[in-house]
Amino acid sequence: MLQRLYVHNYRCFEHFEFKPQDQSAALLLGKNASGKSTVRQVLALFQAIGRGRSRVGELITSSDFAHYRREQAIEFELEARLGEQSYAYRLVFELPERFRELRVQQERLVVDGEVVFNRDIAKVAMPRKTKGYEDAVFFIDWHLVALPIIQDAAAAIVLRTLREWLGAMILLAPIPFNMRDVAIGSEVAIHESAHNLPDWLADLLERFPAAYSGVVEHLQQVTPDLQGFRFDRLGRDARALLVLYREGQKTLELPISALADGEKCFLISAVLLAANQMTAPLLAFWDEPENFLAPHEVNQFVVALKRSFLRQQSQLIISSHNPQAILCFPQDSTWVMGRRHHLEPSQIRCLEELHLSSPVTSPSSEVATERKPDLLQRLLDGDIDPWL
Amino acid sequence: MALNRERLHLVVLPEDDATRSLATGFVDATVGQMQVLNPAGGWCHVLDEMLEAQLTPLRKYGKRHLVLLIDFDNDFTNRMQDFNNAIPVDVANRVYVLGALSEAEELKKQTGIKLGLLGQALAKECAGNTTTLWMHPQLQHNQAEINRLNQVVRGFLF
């Protein structure tokens, strides 16, 4: 589980620290441009590293410096509890004068308090605990992140565990309109826009055929007339995803392009739930999952996701503006983000610490008729960040 | 995905954001149909809201059960009496009044557990038929209501 995320000098973040700790679900709340989606972009950077992308120029560019402050380094720190072990990964980028591409200034992985590797620009050191063995020291291109490329027998398990967990992150900001009808097998991990959902589903079913019933069962809660789905082979690699509906004796088979945008979002959630069941523990971030859903569907949609992630000891982070989604999260797992204007960095506070909705007067029968301010009213009034 | 109101379901009307936090944690550790409503804004508003907005759906949907989640503000007997007097007889068997003896924040302080996690723990005790947390001095007065509620929700919530 993600315990802590620290980001400095990256886009709208300066000394930004998000600590979901052991929460199975967390909500990011805030006005537009408060930095919620930037959290997803930071996670995407770690996800790319976990999936083997090491070239710095493909991960980050000079336009990512906060307010073009290129003289300062960009810092990322991620702490996670994976299995019984605590991982702390730190990655710092800099842009020296006359450089066009950023380079790695520092990189360090610590597991349970012990350094796995420590890097200073190009020099990487791996301490050896065994007597008689000297620390391994080697050099790598300063435009390459070390984590995806280090191969070391002594640290193989922890390196693989972290890389796999990072790479398995599911980050979603779906655009249902762009969802393809066809699985083409070129990329099996779900893209943020979910345009390749058929590929993700096909891959999941190939690895875990039992996931089929979970997906159908979940979809039938929303659309009881759904009978199932299947892939129809179109050529050597392409397979069309078709959804089958039945009402009495009548049946109808539709490509997913014929589904409503909200139905496509239910399909995404059904596959996410199945993936979570089969490949937990996962870290998933869903940017505004309520988009495209009818208001009366939102609450139970979010509840289903939260229940699944709690049950599987996975972790779900969502951002939302929707009252029905917001009501699903306790104060202690709701994080309010904000900034007064674009020249200021984003700040984040746990709602529990803000006491936004605490009673203004002590509760007693004399003052009990005074209505306490509630979170949703403050949201509607645009009054959730008076602490800024 | 929306609640199927023709099937057994439980709705919680919390007093404030603290009690809402408890309830949402509880929901996470269940499997059946359950929904937490927007906080009423005070215990007396819970009563108002129940009488003004919740009575109609309660009467319309016979499989709906309603928990009024309040803070008893160390006045359990009188407050329970207020609620019992106000809740109409025809729905009284489907309305339950629960809450911390003083307030939810005090329960959090005394147990040292965050409200969301407290809610989860309380649900797990209900599912496992144990009462360690439910016997906490801030919660033990709820036993009669919990027994009444458990008889109904055990079949669909856990």
Q: pLDDT higher for B131 or A163?
A: A163
Structural contact between residues A94 and A102, judged by C-beta atoms closer than 8 angstroms? yes
Output the CA–CA distances (angstroms, integers) from residue A201 to A116, A120, A204, A245, B67, in the order listed.
36, 41, 5, 19, 40
* B97 strand-pairing partners: B68
Show contacts of A296-300: CB within 8 Å, 24+ apart.
A296/B2, A297/A222, A297/A262, A297/B1, A297/B2, A298/A322, A298/A324, A298/A325, A299/A324, A299/A325, A299/A327, A299/A328, A299/B2, A299/B3, A299/B35, A300/B1, A300/B2, A300/B3, A300/B33, A300/B35
Please answer yes or no on whether A330 and B42 come within 8 Å at the CB atom: no
Query: Which among A89, A331, A355, A308 has a CA at the least distance from the CA of B117?
Result: A331
> What local confidence, expressed as pLDDT, does residue A267 receive?
97
Output the CA–CA distances (angstroms, integers) from residue B108 to A259, A302, A334, B21, B133, in the order listed.
46, 25, 17, 11, 12
How many whole angstroms separate alpha carbon A53 and alpha carbon A205?
26
Query: Which among B127, B131, B129 has a CA at the least distance from the CA of B29?
Result: B127
> What local confidence, expressed as pLDDT, does residue A360 receive?
41
Up-side HSE of residue B7: CA atoms within 13 Å toward CB? Answer: 10
pLDDT band per the 50, 70, 90 thresholds, residue A340: confident
How many whole angstroms separate alpha carbon A335 and alpha carbon A13?
15
DSSP-derived letter for residue B50 is I
Instruction: Say yes or no: A303 contacts chain B, CB-CB below 8 A.
Output: yes
Please answer yes or no on whether B28 and A303 come within 8 Å at the CB atom: yes
Amino acid symbol at A367: V
Q: With H, G, I as helix, E, B as strand and everything else as coil, classify residue A168.
A: coil
A65 φ, ψ to 5°?
-65, 140
Task: Kindly report the average pLDDT of chain A as a whole number.
Answer: 92
Burial of A366 (0-12, 13-18, 19+ CB in 10 A): exposed
B109 contacts on A by Cβ (under 8 Å): none
How many whole angstroms separate alpha carbon A382 and alpha carbon B134?
38
Up-side HSE of residue A17: CA atoms within 13 Å toward CB? Answer: 6
Question: What are the tens digits of pLDDT across the range A229-267?
Answer: 999 999 888 999 999 999 999 999 999 999 999 999 999
A369 contacts on B by Cβ (under 8 Å): 42, 44
Residue A372 has pLDDT above 70, yes or no: no
Work out the average pLDDT over A346-366.
Answer: 67
> What local confidence, expressed as pLDDT, does residue A233 receive?
93
B21 contacts on A by Cβ (under 8 Å): 330-332
A299 contacts on B by Cβ (under 8 Å): 2-3, 35
> What local confidence, expressed as pLDDT, does residue A359 receive?
45
> What local confidence, expressed as pLDDT, does residue A356 receive?
64
Quick one: closest CA in B to A328, which residue?
A: B24
Residue A98 has pLDDT above 60, yes or no: yes
Please report the residues numbered 89 through 148 in chain B whose beta carbons come closer than 8 angstroms to any beta carbon of chain A. Answer: 103, 105, 114-117, 119-120
Query: Which among A280, A239, A281, A235 has a CA at the least distance from the CA of A256?
Result: A239
pLDDT band per the 50, 70, 90 thresholds, residue A361: very low
Residue A36 has pLDDT above 60, yes or no: yes
Q: Cis ω on the peptide bond leading into residue A281 (within 30° of 0)? A: yes
Q: pLDDT higher for A236 or A325?
A: A325
Q: In which region does residue A224 sit, left (phi positive, over 0), alpha (psi from -120 to 50) or beta (all else)?
A: alpha
Query: Which among A63, A264, A244 has a CA at the least distance from the CA of A176?
Result: A264
- The shortest C-alpha distance from B135 to chain A (Å) reads 23
A27 contacts on B by Cβ (under 8 Å): none
pLDDT band per the 50, 70, 90 thresholds, residue A131: confident
Q: Which residues, at least 6 apart from B29, have a Cβ–Cβ distance to it below 8 Å?
A: A307, A310, B119, B120, B121, B123, B124, B127
Residue A284 has pLDDT above 90, yes or no: yes
Query: Which among A336, A340, A341 has a CA at the least distance from the CA of A356?
Result: A336
> What local confidence, expressed as pLDDT, does residue A371 receive?
64
Instruction: Say yes or no: B38 contacts chain A, CB-CB below 8 A.
Output: yes
Residue A357 has pLDDT above 80, yes or no: no
Query: Which among A284, A351, A289, A356 has a CA at the least distance from the CA of A320?
Result: A289
A359 contacts on B by Cβ (under 8 Å): 16, 42
- The shortest C-alpha distance from A260 to chain B (Å) reads 15
Amino acid symbol at A33: A
Instruction: Say yes or no: A297 contacts chain B, CB-CB below 8 A.
Output: yes
**Residue of B10, B12, B17, B31 to mutate for A, most A C-beta atoms under 10 A:** B17
* B13 strand-pairing partners: B68
The CA-CA-CA angle for residues A108, A109, A115, to 5°, reads: 95
pTM of the full structure: 0.93
Q: pLDDT higher for A361 or A352?
A: A352
How many whole angstroms separate alpha carbon A270 and alpha carbon A113?
38
Question: What are the tens digits of pLDDT across the range B45-98?
Answer: 999 999 999 999 999 999 999 999 999 999 999 999 999 999 999 999 999 999
Instruction: Say yes or no: A352 contacts chain B, CB-CB below 8 A.
Output: yes
Question: What are the tens digits of pLDDT across the range A137-160?
Answer: 999 999 999 999 999 888 999 999
pLDDT band per the 50, 70, 90 thresholds, residue B1: low
B24 contacts on A by Cβ (under 8 Å): 327-330
- The shortest C-alpha distance from B77 to chain A (Å) reads 14
Q: With H, G, I as helix, E, B as strand and everything else as coil, classify residue A241.
A: strand
Structural contact between residues A200 and A189, judged by C-beta atoms closer than 8 angstroms? yes
Pairing of strands A114-120, A25-30: unpaired
Complex ipTM, two decimals? 0.95
B131 φ, ψ to 5°?
-140, 25
Show contacts of A212-215: CB within 8 Å, 24+ apart.
A214/A270, A214/A273, A214/A274, A214/A277, A215/A270, A215/A271, A215/A273, A215/A274
Pairing of strands A136-139, B95-100: unpaired
Query: Which among A172, A210, A121, A102 has a CA at the least distance from the CA of A316?
Result: A172
Pairing of strands A85-94, A170-172: unpaired
The CA-CA-CA angle for residues A372, B42, A361, to 5°, reads: 50
Quick one: closest CA in B to A307, which residue?
A: B28
Query: Which among A222, A223, A243, A239 has a CA at the least distance from the CA of A231?
Result: A239
Exposure string of B20-47, with b = 16+ CB inside 10 Å and e = fewer, is bbbbbbbbbbbeebbbbbbbbbbbbbbb
